[in-house]
Structure 1
């Protein structure tokens, strides 16, 4: 793991809350409007999670997961602030091109079937699924929100590096191996 990092990935706060709880160990990405024809690319192997609330709603989550919206990472922080509490290390990447594989994602993440289908079909059919080992800070960094962070793009370069030394894994080794095995089952079915 890098000792410090300034790269962040924008993701819905509810998804960040699920990552923090350990109920999800994958990130399902399509990419933002400003990422051009190529769409999302896994440009970084480690990054801070940048919780967003734009386009996020209970109707896009699996019904039993809507309570995630009441958790701190899914809610707006103080005006003009951003809380960096989670750090992700990419362990594996799957690019899904076959829509018949989408149902297998339901058990791995909190978005509902319709939301996953919409993401898959947006622009060019396909999705990236990242298996991530998630770490958290007991005391998050409070970061000033900057106008350059706004917009529909996945990656953000923060104004400074933030140390990763005090991070603790969300899942222990055995729990993460179980999550990795579930991810590998999806990979195997996609081949």
Structure 2
């Protein structure tokens, strides 16, 4: 069972669900404590958000079909649909913009989006490496007022069953992706020393 959801752009949720990326870059929502994201949970449901116009301009062109698919699959008003679970396997705070930009081939944000997010309020971004798994069937729950707002974490009233969730990447593919994230951050960190 899962009782926590993580708000993320619908197109990024789709990229995670399809195994196109296994990292989440996070700055934090307006409602975060002290205005900064904290990696409070290691396991959570992905909660796609659809209300930011920058989704279309803030992602790489190759992800535009995923954005269109995410919009087409959007549930009706008053309903949240959960299809995937994520487990955090590594968290790093990146304090240098060059380090964040070095991850370019591993996520769907444009370089401009990375720069904007990196510099918002105070410099830095969190990089979460996540193992994503598909739920056996989509689960819909009623949307509630307390789930709204610019925040990362949503404590759900109802438990969402997760038994039988299947990883979207094989063990080998996920290990290779994780190694690439680590190597990129280490190599870039060493080159700027």
TM-score by length of 2: 0.92
Alpha-carbon distance, 1:75 to partner: 4.8
User: 1:75 and 1:97 mapped to 2: Cα distance?
Assistant: 36
SS of 1:67's partner is helix
User: 1:114 and 1:43 mapped to 2: Cα distance?
Assistant: 27
Alpha-carbon distance, 1:116 to partner: 0.9
Alpha-carbon distance, 1:38 to partner: 4.8
Q: Is structure 2 residue 17 aligned with structure 1 residue 17?
A: no
RMSD between superposed Cα atoms in Å: 1.5
Q: 1:138 to 1:163 in 2, by over 3 A?
A: closer
> Could you tell me whether the CA contact under 8 Å between 2:45 and 2:86 is conserved in 1?
yes
Structure 1 segments, 4+ long, off by >3 Å, are: 72-75
User: 1:18 and 1:40 mapped to 2: Cα distance?
Assistant: 21
User: 1:34 and 1:95 mapped to 2: Cα distance?
Assistant: 20
**Structure 2 equivalent of residue 184 of structure 1:** 182
Q: Which runs of 5+ in 1 are unaligned?
A: none
> Could you tell me whether the CA contact under 8 Å between 1:17 and 1:73 is conserved in 2?
no
From 165, 168, 177, the counterpart of 1:167 = 165
From 153, 156, 160, the counterpart of 2:154 = 156
Alpha-carbon distance, 1:54 to partner: 2.1
Q: Which runs of 5+ in 2 are unaligned?
A: none
